[in-house]
Structure 1
């Protein structure tokens, strides 16, 4: 019996060592909580990634991302995981390992401090501060269920990264303004964006940049500008205040609210913009109304 207990204990120790040395996903782990939803953390991390010369290796949905960062001669792999705790807070877990020295780190870690610990803590803290600075620069207010009203519009079809949406609007704002004004087309509300396809994995969107107009029989013809009617539908609504580059942060709030309310939604948000960024001003006072259609 004694030998059996010893052998069982020995095998258990060997299995634990194998898991620790070769299977456990990290040399070092950092966790923290953030006052943001996973989608917002995901998008902010991608912007921060360019500032630290990192490389996004892969993404699995909104909640998981693998990042590669060079520190001198070392390459560190950061596996980020985000989990919503409620409608405004998420837990963030980061598993970090040295691409070329992982085994050595794990052998030394029980007895000594290893360089990756200090570097990882510094890097994750840097991102945490960057995220909090970003969160201070916008506000999303959930408004509840609303009606997305029917409207006729002139629009330019576009596609690109989520983060390039505002740039696409700016590039075509003057075109739509001048063509409508030169042909005496009467505007009928603020400009808006209609998302027609959203690939969350690739951060890519197809969208229409639209000017609501009064329909007439003498609308100008143009090689780029098209016309259509947006039909009325029920939607969840949020108000966004901040730079329009990051108005998609409201999409994640509406997705979370839909989940909490057990509502089936279409991932085709519509955004109405009430300020012209060319006039400047404090960005936190810029206003957009964001609608996520209900199935």
Structure 2
């Protein structure tokens, strides 16, 4: 009997030591979001820009884990976000929060009262959830599945940007690219497109070619910033995106999830084909883009 009591006391003592001094968070919030992890990841990064953060939100190894430090008065609160996909349209989010200045006091008070620390944490997470809900209503992604990217000869300009600034770089170069081609009487062979050549998923930076499929001829402008290449037919995963082209990369993440769930090896170099001219239609949910994520060829 004494051994049982002694063992129980040891376990209780060990649990208290872990809770008070080792447990990495003071308070945990869980919620379910009706969207895929990539959309949550990108919305978190945009939301973070409006906060009084001491350390800006950054990924911790992959897009499913992120960390930030937010200032509240004389305290610094660390938020660790973990995102887990449940199915194609639902994710579970766990937020572990720690007050770096008053962690021990919080751990002592949280089990017995609804502290200001807890209320502030809930309010902060609720603010993000509202931001996420607003964002979800502004776009739609439909994963089509395996398809084929057709062969195209493309006139393009190589560019660099972060994902949120991709559309701005496209707009800045659109008039120049189209003007040069039209002045020479070049015939177009499809919608404007973006071919991503490098994608750093840690800092959301991309290298990409912004161009237009054309009919190859002797009329092509030379000695300019415009370059030419052939994009060859390739197997790819395909999605349809509807919404502002600034956030068309949400479809990239939907395709990454689809590839992982179906064990399909892919190349992280998306190709986007834009069907609409944003200046001629104010309803963003009618703007369509086809998104292709190339499938890796079999290595023999």
- Pairwise TM-score range, normalised by the shorter structure: over 0.9
Partners of 1:286 and 1:230 in 2: CA distance: 24
The answer as to whether partners of 2:141 and 2:239 remain within 8 angstroms in 1 is yes
Partners of 1:292 and 1:16 in 2: CA distance: 48
Q: Residue 73 in 1 paired to residue 74 in 2?
A: yes
2:40 — aligned with what?
A: 41
Aligned to 1:107, what secondary structure does the other structure show? Answer: helix
1:122 — aligned with what?
A: 123
Aligned to 1:51, what secondary structure does the other structure show? Answer: coil
Give the Å deviation of 1:215. 0.6
Aligned alpha-carbon RMSD (Å):
1.4
Structure 1 moving runs of 4+ over 4 Å: none
Q: Residue 174 in 1 paired to residue 170 in 2?
A: no
The answer as to whether partners of 1:57 and 1:68 remain within 8 angstroms in 2 is no
Tell me the alpha carbon deviations over residues 123-162 of structure 1, each in whole angstroms, 9 at most, x when there is no partner.
1111111101110111011222212001111111111211
1:142 — aligned with what?
A: 143
Partners of 1:60 and 1:44 in 2: CA distance: 18
Matches within 5 A, 1:204-243: 204-243=205-244
Give the Å deviation of 1:6. 3.1
2:250 — aligned with what?
A: 249
Give the Å deviation of 1:107. 1.7
Which deviates more from structure 2 when the two are superposed, residues 157-166 or residues 130-139?
157-166
TM-score, normalising length: structure 1: 0.96
Matches within 5 A, 1:13-32: 13-32=12-31
Give the Å deviation of 1:66. 0.3
Partners of 1:53 and 1:149 in 2: CA distance: 47
Tell me the alpha carbon deviations over residues 219-263 of structure 1, each in whole angstroms, 9 at most, x when there is no partner.
212442111110001111111000001101111111122223322
Partners of 1:56 and 1:217 in 2: CA distance: 50
Matches within 5 A, 1:86-165: 86-165=87-166
**Residue-pair matches, total:** 294
Tell me the alpha carbon deviations over residues 80-134 of structure 1, each in whole angstroms, 9 at most, x when there is no partner.
0000001110000000011111111112223333211000101111111110111
Partners of 1:114 and 1:26 in 2: CA distance: 15
Q: Residue 293 in 1 paired to residue 299 in 2?
A: no
Partners of 1:174 and 1:18 in 2: CA distance: 65
- Residues 207 and 86 of structure 1, relative CA distance in 2, 3 Å threshold: same
Partners of 1:100 and 1:155 in 2: CA distance: 53
The answer as to whether partners of 1:154 and 1:210 remain within 8 angstroms in 2 is yes
Give the Å deviation of 1:280. 4.2
- Note the residue ranges of structure 2 that are not aligned, 5 or more in a row: none
The answer as to whether partners of 1:28 and 1:117 remain within 8 angstroms in 2 is yes
Partners of 2:35 and 2:69 in 1: CA distance: 23
1:8 — aligned with what?
A: 7
Give the Å deviation of 1:275. 1.1
Give the Å deviation of 1:16. 0.7
TM-score, normalising length: structure 2: 0.94
Which deviates more from structure 2 when the two are superposed, residues 35-44 or residues 53-62?
53-62
Give the Å deviation of 1:166. 0.7
- Note the residue ranges of structure 1 that are not aligned, 5 or more in a row: none
1:187 — aligned with what?
A: 188
Partners of 2:209 and 2:69 in 1: CA distance: 34
Partners of 1:57 and 1:264 in 2: CA distance: 26
